[in-house]
Structure 1
Amino acid sequence: MKVKVSRKATFNAAHRLHNNNWSEEKNKLIFGKCNNPNFHGHNYTLFVSVLGFICEESGYVIDLNKLKKIIDDKIIEYFDHKNLNLEIPEFQSLNPTLENILKIIYDKLRKEISKELTLSVILYETENNFAEINEEKNSEVV
């Protein structure tokens, strides 16, 4: 039987949604307040889940202390209290939308977590807006 275990974390970051290939008018039309040239911030909530078989020796799917350390070292330390546009290298050429932030987080975590485990990552940008990458669900797509 497979079991899913999860860890929650939070971080704060500022960003500006802007496409340099568009006019100022189009950026304002598409991104609205999120296009503020002085940036704006969010209190992000991150949920990281791994699905796998329980290890007979440890009783764990994954050691949650190890998962916490991965999240802290690779995600929180990297993003927390940063201006994503100015301080995060990936966003020098990539618009820091919720979806793109999630993809960067997923890619960083996937490198650190055993391929034997299925990874799901949910990122809340606001109480009502969130995005998810779920390998289990994505594997069904043909």
Structure 2
Amino acid sequence: MDTITDYVKKEYEADVTEFTLTGVGLGGWTSWLTAAVDKRVKAIAPVAMDFLNFTKSFKHHYRAYCGWSYMMRPFYKMNITKELDNPRFQELASHLDPLEYNQRYANVTKYIIVLSGDEFFPPDNSRFYFSQLKGPKRIL
């Protein structure tokens, strides 16, 4: 965002002060977390990052797919999936779970795009967080 602001100011003599971020998968996660820490972000449109409220979403993934999908293999191999109720996992989630920064999204417009057939995120994960989100929000 700093680079865009500098470039537009230099090349077009215009000021860019507000941003809308989007991204797919981990890029969607990045849009959530960037919006939590940078007030220039006024809107986000995360695509296929329907995994807020980590612990509940992880457990739902396991139940919905009757086990861990192949995409979760790295988490399974590192025994992360066995530690969901461990206080250390909860501490980790308190830093990485976008829902933990909910209060910071009160002035950020959220347009969440959910995909079906995703090996990470069942399409109904929003039930674990959507009603809790502060501020303007939409889901597709």
Return the structure number with greater helix share.
2
Instruction: Give me the TM-score of the superposition, normalised by structure 1.
Output: 0.27
Instruction: Give me the TM-score of the superposition, normalised by structure 2.
Output: 0.27
